[in-house]
Amino acid sequence: MTPTQKSEAKWGLLFVAPTIIGLLVLNLYPIANTIYQSFFKTGDFGKGNIFIGLANYQKVLSSQETWQALWNTVKYALIEVPFGVVIALLLAVLLNKKIGGRSVYRTIFFLPMVCAPAAVAMVWKWLYNTQFGLLNNVLHTKVAWISDPKIAWISIGIIGVWSIIGYNMVLFIGGLQEIPGDYYEAADIDGASGVRQFFSITVPLLSPTTFFIVQTRIIGALTIFDLMFMVMDKTNVALPKVQSIVYLFYQYAFTNGNKGYGATLVVILLLFIMLLTWILQRAEKKIVYHN
Amino acid sequence: MEGAERRARTRKLLTHVVLIIMAFIMLVPFAWMILTAVKTTQESISVDPFYILPASGWHWENFGTVWKSYNFIVLYKNTLLMIFFRVVCACLTATMAGYAFGRLNFPFKKILFALVLIQMMVPGQIFIIPQYLMVSKMGALNTTFGLVFPGLVTAFGTYLLKTGYEGLPKDLEEAAMIDGCNVGQRFLHIMMPLTRSSMISLGIFTAVFAFKDLMWPMIVCTNASTTTLSAGLAKMQGQYGSEYPTMMAAATLAVLPMIIIYVIFQKQFVEGIATSGGKL
């Protein structure tokens, strides 16, 4: 090593040191520790933890509650991701044209992104109120938006879509601006209609952006917590049909103080997400259009 | 030609109609939040007649009452301190690590960067129990340090800044090297100032996500006087959930500061949040 290289190596290690130490303490150790804890029963009041092997896993996996929560989470994702993506794409295409008030529209659509989900959820809960809510009183309905187990998951999903379309839209606009304008000019000369252009130019050329959004949103949706926590009262009869995996994790680990069981839930979520990421990565090569 | 022009105009009109309907849907919850906040409790639960606008005048004083009775000044202070320290820590550690990963050669570089990637790939909930236990053992529950703790360093920020540094031209640094600047000087005087836009993005991103976080402050700051706006709202809802004007005034107070900052710096905000996400 030359002196210059040596000095560079020293500086390099010095510069990454705070981040690396932080990541080891704050992230890597916690991953190992969470997995470790999932093999223990959390002791009561000062008593040590008791090693129970795979008993937590057995309990979590044989509990109907876990599977229901996993299904609830997937159902939430099935609303938030497709609707959040399609509506955002349409808005992005509309806003990508030369029209007045573009930045005003963009500012409004993006607004939920800077609002605390706790506050957003509180407002929606009030909108959904069966007796006094705006929705039922304006529509002259009596729908139990958030306490009917058959509907509540959709109502929560709607809040999720409302919250995310602005963000997805901005990412789509970024992707759209990278598509060269001459593609559309050529298509115009050939007399291709707007719809035709959308499906044969926009959709394929935008597919890397779309794939990125879909992937991050799937993972984001699978870790949903705030909306369920704020909208659903603990006494709400629809709660078992709405609560997500992370909601369950929070309840067990921090409300009931059963850290071992909570750790097991989150390890299972980790495995589920890793599996999904792997599948998505493999699918990417087939779905995404590369030129 | 006239037909084409008319068609273009109709299309433009249609676009605006769709956009206005969507904008309306996006704004209804905010409007309803504020309209409820200025009603009396009686008006808010009156169904026949149902009031969209407050009937007995706009009770702006509701905000003052809520501000005082829920000690909003403390919630603002706690949230602000948390955001401030998280942004400072994130920017400081990420710019250093980002520079090293982006432009320097040093031993174990690949394996150390793998650590950054691992943190970004796993769901954040997996860190929470041990992080909580650490904070609790340090006796830092219900403190600002406890709130800041998980954000002392940032894998995402490191990644973002690394990309920023990699994008800078090579000859800038080489010229400085010939002039005899060491790595530290090159970083401080030449490279760091050039990544200002990435740093601003990271700062905004960190601030907004710290502001929105609910679970962590709920876990480490259970005390009403030490917690943040988000977790404070959750607490209030648990206690006074059926006093709707009060709750909506509280929600308004919680989101308003960020909305005002956002409207002023909206370009930086949209870019900061979206391009940060887009670069992942």
Report ipTM for this prediction. Answer: 0.93
Q: Is residue A10 assigned to a domain?
A: no
Judged against a pLDDT cut of 50, whether residue B280 lies above it is answered with: no
Output Rg (C-alpha) for chain B, integer angstroms.
Answer: 24
DSSP state, A6?
H
Tell me whether the omega of the peptide bond preceding residue B49 falls within 30 degrees of 0, making it cis: yes
**CB neighbour list of residue A87: distance below 8 Å, 6 or more residues apart:** A161, A165, B22
CB contacts, 8 Å: A21 with chain B: 153
As to burial, measured by CB atoms within 10 angstroms (0-12 exposed, 13-18 middle, 19+ buried), residue B99 is buried
* Interface-testing mutation among B212, B221, B256, with chain A (most A C-beta atoms within 10 A): B212
pLDDT for B170 equals: 82
Q: What percent of chain B has pLDDT over 90?
A: 77
Could you give the percent of chain A with pLDDT greater than 70? 98
Provide the mean pLDDT of chain A. Answer: 93
Backbone angles phi, psi at A117, to 5 degrees: -55, -30
Contacts of B100 in chain A (CB under 8 A): 11-13, 15-16
The verdict on residue A57 lying in a domain is no
Fold of B72-276: MetI-like fold (1.10.3720)
- Residue A260 inside a domain? The answer is yes
Summarize the confidence of residues B210-232 as an average pLDDT: 96
Domain ranges of chain B: 2-63, 72-276
Question: What pLDDT, in 10s, does the model give residues A80-91?
Answer: 999 999 999 999
Q: How far apart are CA A163 and CA B26, in angstroms?
A: 9
What is the pLDDT of chain B when averaged over all its residues?
A: 92
- Is the pLDDT score of A46 beyond 90? no
B240 or B261, which is more confident? B261
Look at A262 and B129 and tell me if their CB atoms are within 8 Å.
yes
Bigger pLDDT: A78 vs B171: A78
* CATH code, domain carrying A138: 1.10.3720.10
Nearest-angstrom CA–CA distance, A116 and A127: 17
* Partner residue facing B212 (CB), from A90, A116, A209: A116
Residue A38 lies in a domain: no
Residue B278 has pLDDT above 90, yes or no: no
Minimal C-alpha gap between B244 and chain A (Å): 8
**B142 Ramachandran zone, left/alpha/beta (phi>0; psi -120 to 50):** left
> Using CB atoms within 10 A of its CB, is residue B139 exposed (0-12), middle (13-18) or buried (19+)?
exposed
Residue that has been written with the tokens 């829920």 in this structure? B70
Residue A177: phi and psi, rounded to 5, are -70, -15
Residue A32 lies in a domain: no
- Whether residue A116 and residue B125 make contact (CB cut-off 8 A), yes or no, is no
Q: What are the tens digits of pLDDT across the range A138-196?
A: 999 999 999 999 999 999 999 999 999 999 999 999 899 888 888 988 998 888 888 88
Q: For residue B137, how many other CB atoms are within 10 A of its CB?
A: 9
Q: Is the pLDDT of residue B224 over 80?
A: yes
Q: How many CB atoms lie within 10 A of CB A219?
A: 17
Residue A48's pLDDT band (cuts 50, 70, 90): confident
Rg (CA), chain A: 24
A3 domain-assigned? no
The domain in which residue A154 lies consists of 63-287
Q: Tell whether A273 is covered by a domain.
A: yes
What does the pLDDT read at residue A47?
Answer: 65
Count of structural domains within chain A:
1
User: What is the structure's pLDDT at A192?
Assistant: 86
Considering Cα of B65, then B71, then B74, then B78, what sign does the dihedral take?
A: negative
A-chain residues near B274 (CB < 8 A): 167, 170-171, 174
Tokens of A264: 């097991």
CB contact under 8 A, B123 and A134: no
pLDDT tens digits for B86-134? 999 999 999 999 999 999 999 999 999 999 999 999 999 999 999 999 9
* Unique residue bearing structure tokens 């291709």: A192
- Decide if A192 is inside a domain: yes
| C-beta atoms of B121 and A233 within 8 A | no
Residue, of A255 and A46, whose pLDDT is higher = A255
Question: Which chain B residues touch A230 with a CB distance below 8 Å?
Answer: 214, 233-234, 237
Instruction: Out of B52, B99, B214, name the one closest to residue A226 (CB).
Output: B214
Q: Which residue has the higher pLDDT, B276 or A56?
A: A56
